[in-house]
Structure 1
């Protein structure tokens, strides 16, 4: 099967994201309290934790949809430049962020497709209007990618004509066609009916098998155990534990993680 498109072959081991002391505050609420994380090319990192632990906020900070309140962030070898204004941190160079964001794709919980555009138009929009690529080349690549996620036969449908699982597969195809170096997934199956979860996880497994760099916020424990190269467990805005799925899921490494996982059926 033809692999998903990507700009360059992965360079395993190269640092693609580095967060040091990352914080995020909303008023008096400290959502992130000094997170350190380094992601390397080819890694699949599952970010786990209870609701309110800061998982989605952390992921949104990595894509700069949220501006961190403090700490340092390096993406693809570039230090993100911030400036202080009235005591709050702001983006210093919007052009830098836009350029890097085109290389860090994000898939959201609720699909975020344009309702007035067809499936094919949704997938083609970014490469043409953000990256300035040739329309005919983009169409060919978009159709091949939709075929890989099993959605080419719905290319002329509108999002309202699709199931939730189908919409999420289109959203993944839309992110892939941008040829990102890193893919971020924010609970991509949480809005789906249980019978539709498997079709989305299959696409993600295929991406992981190709050596894609992926950071995934998820409650799919079996998927996290089977696909991840590393688990990062957040609790109250801090990294409480991290390690290989084999070490963490066997239990006894961290009491908080053991309590968290006890609320799910142990994968196996």
Structure 2
């Protein structure tokens, strides 16, 4: 939903709250969609200059977002810090006489709407925070398995708007009471939001009787798994081969970093 707001055409005017319409983020997005549908109807087309101005403003907010995301691997910002950094990048871009964006022409002061930029940032940042707060795990889905090992995956999702913020891939061996965490995978947009820990706790809750382990880890993931093991109610082992039933190929795959 964040990228939809930053990519799809905006209405000619920012929708204002109007009872008895729904309140909150879903209400805002519903009003945006209604207004956007209205300006697309025949006989109610927006002028080209206004459309280009809104698109340019969108591009600046989007550029600030992408710059913030690109820093996540090094900065590892939590949600509030991410929003603050995004806001700072946007302020910097809006203060420039000419904004250079990759893949398109520079945007000058005359080609943007500062007030719209801040409204767009506010809506998109609140949508992101809402998605993080309300993200839940989907049911585990079985994958191709070779008994006695059973392979599964599930997603961390935030409703229909975000069916998969990240995914968890794992396997269990019931005869050995062992679980193998193969991968927890979130894009940079959703890392360092606490979703990886939420996914790991959900995994343990679904299979509470197992001893868990991960395969060789990327260096950036080691501290995350170490913290999770210390706070876990399930036993974890550093033994890379606690169960003979997992294949050699699966034993050597690395768990993708996330937090």
| Greater fraction strand | 1
TM-score, normalised to structure 2, is 0.24
Higher relative contact order (CA 8 A, sep 6+): 1
Rg (Cα) greater in structure: 2
TM-score, normalised to structure 1, is 0.24
| Greater fraction helix | 2
